[in-house]
């Protein structure tokens, strides 16, 4: 019987250094392993997949690539939000299980706090102006101490954000479909409208699914209190980006720290790039050495679980 073939067809430049020792041994225990540094736009990308039984993927597969890999049974995606990068409906039709990794909660939570601090203290704008020999001491930020953080969604990243926010002296309120107040006595769980209306800082932490796409409407954003700060390290498609931009222009939303966008990378001249009250990072909240290794460990663990008949962290659109 032919050995199983595991392929990483779109690895980053650091992957050959990271996938050594025990990590490489775990992959080779599952089958023959092939590593390719590149992206799915490479001319030979499809050929890399042809004999694959299992795939680790950083950038996902489209329907055509999945159909061209007849032996493929699992795609272990190296991140959350697999639905953004993989056609989950087509995967289901082809009998392919798609998993995502949950290992970077603490890393993204730290990035959430970094964006929050940068937005509330105008760090990016003041840095630009100071480098240009400006000296803008009149632009006030505000303290996090005593303010209310509203978390929309309460998965692992939001939960990891709670102790960080409380260390700054913030009160934390949250909305989630399945609140567990007994497990989180330091968080007040409220209706979505109440969280948006009461929070001084609103931070989004929702996976992108059919239910969450467009969940935060124009009206939801307009109900937020004047002067609110918005942080999004989840997915841009969960909210009305056009209204977010409008309210940033008018000052109703005082500032935003954004790591995700409706179009990525941001095109030249995008309205968000022209706003002084926005801090932008290129969907990189996961990107630390520790976070990258945790993602790889999680992706390997998902493959191991699948091949022992106990798949976990399965991505769905539900």
| Catalytic site positions | 235, 264, 283
CA 254 to chain centre: 23
Q: How far apart are CA 82 and CA 76, in angstroms?
A: 9
What is the pairing mode between strands 32-37 and 54-57?
unpaired
**Residue 94 tokens, joined:** 């082809």
CB 268 within 8 A of CB 261: no
CB 98 within 8 A of CB 90: no
| DSSP character at residue 225 | P
In order of 58, 89, 153, the CA distances from 235 in angstroms are 17, 19, 12
**Residue 126 tokens, joined:** 């003041």
- Full DSSP string of 35-77: EEES-TTSTTHHHHHTT-SEEEESS---HHHHHT-TT--EEEE
- Ramachandran angles phi, psi of 216, nearest 5°: -90, 105
CB 77 within 8 A of CB 104: no
**Angle 299-24-66 from CA coordinates, rounded to 5°:** 45
CB 248 within 8 A of CB 241: no
């Amino acid at each position: 019987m032919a050995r199983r073939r595991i392929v990483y067809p779109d690895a980053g430049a650091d992957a050959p250094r990271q996938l050594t020792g025990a990590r490489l041994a775990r992959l080779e225990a599952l089958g023959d392993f092939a590593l390719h540094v590149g992206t799915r736009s490479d001319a030979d990308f499809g050929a890399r997949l042809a004999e694959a039984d299992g795939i680790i993927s950083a950038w996902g597969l489209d329907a055509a690539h999945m159909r061209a890999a007849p032996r493929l049974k699992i795609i272990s995606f190296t991140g959350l939000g697999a639905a953004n990068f993989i056609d989950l409906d087509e995967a289901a039709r082809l009998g392919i299980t798609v998993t995502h990794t949950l290992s970077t909660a603490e890393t993204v939570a730290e990035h959430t706090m970094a964006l929050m601090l940068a937005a509330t203290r105008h760090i990016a704008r003041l840095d630009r102006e100071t480098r240009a020999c400006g000296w803008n001491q009149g632009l006030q930020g505000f303290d996090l101490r005593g303010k209310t953080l509203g978390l929309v969604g309460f998965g692992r990243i939001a939960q990891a954000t709670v102790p960080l926010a409380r260390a700054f002296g913030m009160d934390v309120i949250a909305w989630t479909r399945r609140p567990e107040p007994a497990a989180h006595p330091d968080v007040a769980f409220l209706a979505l409208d109440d969280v948006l209306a009461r929070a001084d800082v609103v931070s989004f932490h929702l996976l992108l699914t059919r239910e969450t796409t467009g969940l935060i409407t124009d009206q939801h954003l307009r109900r937020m209190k004047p002067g609110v700060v918005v942080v999004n390290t989840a997915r841009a498609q969960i909210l009305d980006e056009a209204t977010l931009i409008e309210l940033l222009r008018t000052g109703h939303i005082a500032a935003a720290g954004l790591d995700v966008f409706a179009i990525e990378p941001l095109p030249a001249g995008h309205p968000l790039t022209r706003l002084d009250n926005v801090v932008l990072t290129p969907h990189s909240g996961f990107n630390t050495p520790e976070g990258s290794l945790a993602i790889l460990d999680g992706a390997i663990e998902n493959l191991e679980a699948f091949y022992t008949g106990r798949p976990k962290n399965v991505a769905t659109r539900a």
